[in-house]
Chains A and B, each alone.
Chain A
Amino acid sequence: MLNHMEFDLQCTDIVRKFDDFTAVDHVSFAIKKGSFFSILGPSGCGKTTLLRMLAGFDNPTSGEIIIKGKSMNGVAPNKRPVNMVFQHLALFPNMNVSENIAYGLHRQGINKVEIKHRVEQVLARVNLAGSGNKQITQLSGGQKQRIAIARCLVLNPDVLLLDEPLGALDLKLREHMKVELKQLQQEFETTFVYITHDQSEALVMSDQVAVMNHGQFQQVGDPQQLYYQPDNAFVAGFVGDSNKWSASVIDILPDSLKVKTTTGLILSVSKVDNKSLIIGSEVDIFIRPEAVHISQQVTANLQDNHLNIKINNILFDGANSQLLVEEQNSGEEIKVKLPQTAEFMHLQKGDKLQISFPFQQVKTFPKELEVS
């Protein structure tokens, strides 16, 4: 089959049950050769379970995993052309850096000279040339990270699996490593499957992201798609920052809907594709803080939502600063992005303003039962 060739990894209908609990629920996907694929989801949604099945530490209850066109059913972890970077890296403490990297090469029966050469080569590529004799405890967090990746990449795996490898790092280093990981992946041209609960990691690094919840893939797409065209309420809520309200439909217009939130705020929102809503249907609506426009003068545009608000709080965070504002009639609280421009420098708690946003920016989804 031709399409096998362009995919490094294909999963069809994977299910993993622990007793009567389904940790991974009918998951199917295919990953293109050389791409950076992330699986994003909250803690406990089944990411690790899925990754362990790819690595071979666990077996699917049903479904098939195909790597490079070969079915992996019944293939032991040490026989699969994949390698894994563990959550806590699992660098062997009794071996130094070179020994750690050489471990896998030794298992392949490669001769000593060749091993030495390849270890030096890979150390240079992760910018740690000359650290071969260091003990693991002598390395910094970021260096350990790179060694763990080098230890896998030296084996030229078809797919590299990474289980939240940045989780243990502090924020600054994490930001730095995101960039570095992406660069490494492009340099080695290896397919990465990266799992994380941190949406920013997934969005920054990935070519494709799968959003996962309750063992199921909610949406697979590139970062922009997920951010701007979420398929469902979960994705809309999980990816990026949003104001989220429960509301019910009060009018159906040709382009838009009119809804009323539980606190009584009435808004124009976008229409749901292919979904037949009737008046009275319950919906969830999402609006991103950066989609809200603040103005001090009243401007009239009937298409848009115009709200009179009072500033409740100013959350200063440099470029990510936000206002917490309260709609005057309903008392509904809204997060709004505060642009750091001269125009808004003097804003204070208690100030009254107007905000507006086009209905297209308000995503609407039929109410789902119990969304986390």
Chain B
Amino acid sequence: MKTIGTANARTPIKLGLLLLLCPILLWLFLLVILPQLTMLNISLQERVAPRIYEYGFSNFIAFFTEPLYWNTFLRTAIMSIIATILTLIIAFPISYYIAKMLRGRAKGLLFVLCLIPFWVSELVRTYGWMILLRESGVISTFLQYIGLVDGPIEFLYTDATIMLGLVYSSMLFMVVPLTSTLDSLDDSYIEAGYDLGGNGFSVFWHIVVPHAKPAIVSGCIVVFMLTLGNYLTPILLGGKSSLWFTEQIFTQFITRFNWQQGSAFGVLLLSISSLIVWLGLKLSRQSFSKVMS
């Protein structure tokens, strides 16, 4: 896709600007770059004997040679991608409905309704799902009460439950950018699409989607990253087979006291997820700066 180059002559960076940027740069360095570097440093140390460490790549090699770690990562990434796609599929009609079908108060109301679950913490939200879905929970009891099933049913601790939780907790981050972008799409474009002979699908595909593309891609990036880095939802809803990569990292740090391995996983998670996002941007032919603006 070609865009016209804005012939914005680059002015030399002035000292004043540099001073203004100082706090931000410092903040970036102290809170973003420094911890990552520390982590990289730790991840490169391998234990040879108690209290003795040497530099080496064994922690990274362990990731690639132990299928367990690999598979956990793969599973996490695939589940995250599926969750992202599902979130998009569910959020799009909702956003479209809010942005294009509703008017006035109903619009604001429904939008706020979508936000309300996010006023409570993720932990509370997840426990909410557990109360609903557990064997002795609300849904199971209700189904027995109305006589649909004979015995209690366990809805928790399956991949589907994890997916439900992930999609639910990601919804906001897809609905908000999509709604505001779709809201900015003038109705006349859609009408022009129909007027020129388009049907529902071609208007959606050739007019609505291209317009919403930056929001779709940015929503997907945010949801994917959040899902990949989610800890509580897969652990609490997934139970005995949750198997999430961040849980692996947590385990390495906290229950195995293996900071070296944990850091290596952290570095790998960051790099591989960045790679996946980069691939996604390439595939959708979007630039990161455009998507995030």
Contacts and interface: CB of A to CB of B under 8 A. Distances in A.
Given A103-B206, A107-B202, A90 B192 contact: yes
Interface string B186-204: 1011011111111100100
Contact of A88 (B186, B194, B197, B202): B186
Contacts of B86: none
A94 interface: yes
Given A88-B186, A90-B189, A107-B202, A151 B4 contact: no
A152 interface: yes
B4 A90 contact: no
B211 interface: yes
Interface residues of B, number: 21
Contacts of B1: 94
A201 B198 CA distance: 31
Nearest to A138: B4
Given A135-B4, A138-B4, A90 B191 contact: yes
Contact of B196 (A56, A57, A83): A83
A252 interface: no
Residue in A87, A88, A107 whose Cβ sees the most chain B Cβ within 10 Å: A107
A145 to B, nearest CB: 14
Given A77-B191, A86-B191, A94-B211, A104 B196 contact: yes
B240 interface: no
B207 interface: yes
B192 A84 contact: yes
A75 to B, nearest CB: 12
Given A92-B207, A103-B206, A137-B4, A78 B186 contact: no
B210 interface: yes
Nearest to B189: A90
Contacts of A77: 191, 194-195
A94 B192 CA distance: 14
A151 B196 contact: yes
Contacts of A90: 186, 188-189, 191-192
Given A135-B4, A137-B4, A78 B192 contact: no
B105 interface: no
Interface residues of A, number: 26
A90 B186 CA distance: 8
Given A103-B196, A108-B197, A155-B196, A92 B188 contact: no
A298 interface: no
Interface in B1-25: 1-4
Interface string A63-94: 00000000000001110000110111010111
A84 B206 CA distance: 18
A92 B198 CA distance: 13
B4 to A, nearest CB: 7
B290 to A, nearest CB: 13
A56 B195 CA distance: 8
Nearest to A151: B196
A358 to B, nearest CB: 49
Given A90-B186, A90-B188, A83 B198 contact: no
A293 to B, nearest CB: 49
Contact of A86 (B188, B197, B202, B210): B188
Contact of B188 (A87, A93, A107, A108): A87
B259 to A, nearest CB: 49
A76 B198 CA distance: 11
Contacts of A155: 196-197
A107 B197 CA distance: 6
Contacts of B197: 78, 104, 107-108, 155
Contact of B198 (A55, A57, A78, A135): A78
Interface in A26-81: 55-57, 76-78
A8 B191 CA distance: 22
A93 B1 CA distance: 12
B211 A83 contact: no
8 contacts: A55-B195, A78-B194, A78-B196, A83-B195, A84-B191, A103-B198, A104-B196, A107-B202
Interface of A: 55-57, 76-78, 83-84, 86-88, 90, 92-95, 103-104, 107-108, 135, 137-138, 151-152, 155
Given A57-B194, A155-B197, 4 more contacts: A84-B192, A88-B188, A94-B210, A103-B198
